[in-house]
Amino acid sequence: MEFKRNILITGGAGFIGSHVVRLFVTKYPDYRIVNLDKLTYAGNLANLKDVEDKPNYEFVKADICDFDEVKNIISRYDIDGIIHLAAESHVDRSIRDPFTFARTNVMGTLSLLQAAKQEWEASASGYEGKRFYHISTDEVYGALQFDGSFFTETTKYDPHSPYSASKAGSDHFVRAFHDTYGMPTLVTNCSNNYGPYQFPEKLIPLFINNIRHNKPLPVYGKGENVRDWLYVVDHARAIDIIFHKGKTAETYNIGGFNEWKNIDLIKVIIKTVDRLLGRPEGASEHLITYVTDRAGHDLRYAIDSTKLKNELGWEPSLQFEEGIEKTVRWYLDNQAWLDQVTSGAYQSYYDKMYGGR
């Protein structure tokens, strides 16, 4: 079958990546979508059961740090577009193990860039029709005060954790490959995502699960840190629009215009879970347990998405109240998925579906 485009999506079995893969596979049947994922603890092929048999979908288990394998994949599938989401992303893990974050996020991105550069420069069309789209985070900008300011595309980088430092490093490499070699690149920096299929070490799925099972809800410091929250399907929509219509070498910030103090967000989650479980709203607030604040914990993040809205017409489709309701319902209805991803059963699923290759 001839495909109009051959798109490589890295980290496509993860939280955000699986939503992007699903969107592209279903929306663009004339594109071949190749999902490259190492299947670490946060990657789960069960996230994509609904599209795994589609004729335009391929899965490849590989490590983005394996330069020769990545180069082979780009060549084998005649890849003309890369959407790079594969990354280590949990700040607490980065504090404990910064080397892994530097390896995956910096060296893995460099591996992809160099492999794409060599393959695309050697092709008859060169860089024409090619695109390398790198997904980053708002955390590279550091922290904001409670002064009404926002991160914009020109905000100076000021990372405070090994995670955000590693993502900042990868961003710089992507831009350098455009400036040095002329590679057609894009970078986006997004706020906190929430929604279905998020690995339950992250705040919202962790707390939904803990409330359900009457386990403690650990809150850093006084819970006064502020984050901007975006429903993951809206992020996938933004990625689609930017990949197809964004200007080469540009940066676009993607945010929800939806700031919440951690403690206020947690109380909304508690009330929603309690109500959907038939408990009195707020009955589980006694589970809140304040713990020592995280080292280097940024006070506030807030993204200004005005450029993306004005240039490409994107804005969030869901109000937070609707998004959190959908999210809580999904996790409550998918306890089996939660049990699976926390038990390592996804590896058995992979072996069954793909023969362990």
Which residues belong to the active site?
Answer: 138-139, 163
Between CA 50 and CA 249 the distance in angstroms is 34
**Closest by alpha carbon to 265, among 324, 309, 314, 315?**
324
Query: Both tokens of residue 176?
Result: 């350098």
Q: Are strands 57-61 and 217-220 parallel, antiparallel or unpaired?
A: unpaired
Is 232:19 a contact under the CB 8 Å cutoff? yes
| Helices 203-212/320-333 angle, 10° precision | 50
Q: Are strands 259-261 and 226-231 parallel, antiparallel or unpaired?
A: antiparallel
Cα end-to-end span (Å), the chain: 24
Give whole-number Cα distances, 274 to 29, 211, 223, in Å: 41, 8, 20
Question: DSSP for 103-124?
Answer: IIIIIHHHHHHHHHHHHHHHST
Between CA 214 and CA 162 the distance in angstroms is 32
Is 109:126 a contact under the CB 8 Å cutoff? no
Identity of the amino acid at 295: A
Is 84:148 a contact under the CB 8 Å cutoff? no
CA angle at residue 110 from 109 to 116, to 5 degrees?
90
> Looking at the DSSP assignment, which residues form a beta bridge with residue 59?
35
CA dihedral sign of residues 236, 163, 42, 74: positive
Between CA 215 and CA 144 the distance in angstroms is 32
